[in-house]
Amino acid sequence: MEDDPEEYGDVYSLTVMKSDTRPLLCHHEGGRSSEDAIELFSMVEQMRLTSSLTPVFTSDDWDPFAIGLLNVYGNFEVPPYKGIGRKPLPILVPPKDLKYVQVEKKRVQGTFVESVKNIVFGNKENILEMLEVNEDGHIGTSYVERFNLTIRTSLARFIRKGMNFSKKMRMHTKAFDLFQAWYNFVKPHDSLKIKINCGNRRREYRTPAMAEKFTDHIWTLGELLGFRVPVK
């Protein structure tokens, strides 16, 4: 923005991805605070249909995510008064349908040794059932880490110690908006391909938008840039 300080400092992009069909749902630019996590999950909640189930959230072991989820989805309740001292003040408690798993990667002398699943909110059995994994099943964040690599290789602004860093927050956000549209509609994902039997073709590559049934084909960059957004 025009009133950005001359030296804005570090800016982080927080992202949310739907794990099964891989669309980038939303992103938020800011710092690494609980307020930024609240902004991120508020965007997710605005996109969700009120009739749909609350999704299962997974992330690495970053505490502000838990605080953000609690502030967006939690309810204020007053603990029972025990008759001694002051009456307790209302506190935020997670609803029963909120499910959140943190995946902590343990390392020894810089070498990865194991991945530990920490159930922050929700029932373990229900979470495993919704994620369609068994007791020993893998719950990981590798697809998000691969997505972060895609960001760095696709947007020069995210290359560390480069001259292409963003100078204005507004342009930084707009560049990420364009990347989000390209990622969802133009870039085919190998993990989304399906087997078909159509002449010499044995498989069909799909984009996240195709997997979500927003479109029936892979868009070209020209089609994306020429698309006219309907006026509401």
Name the pTM for this structure: 0.83
User: Positive or negative, the Cα torsion across 175, 181, 187, 188?
Assistant: positive
Q: What is the rounded average pLDDT for all residues in the chain?
A: 85
Number of residues in the chain: 232
Is it the case that residue 11 has pLDDT exceeding 70? yes
Q: Where are the domains of the chain?
A: 12-185, 189-225
pLDDT in tens, 62-84: 889 999 999 999 999 988 888 88
Q: What is the pLDDT of residue 54?
A: 87
Is it the case that residue 170 has pLDDT exceeding 70? yes
Q: What is the pLDDT of residue 134?
A: 57
With residues binned 3-state (H G I as helix, E B as strand, rest as coil), the percentages for the chain, rounded to 5, are 30, 25, 40
d(C-alpha 58, C-alpha 38), whole Å: 15
The stretches of 186-225 forming alpha helices (DSSP H) are: 208-211, 221-225
CB contact set of 185 (below 8 Å; sequence gap of 6+): 207, 208, 209, 214, 215, 218, 219, 224
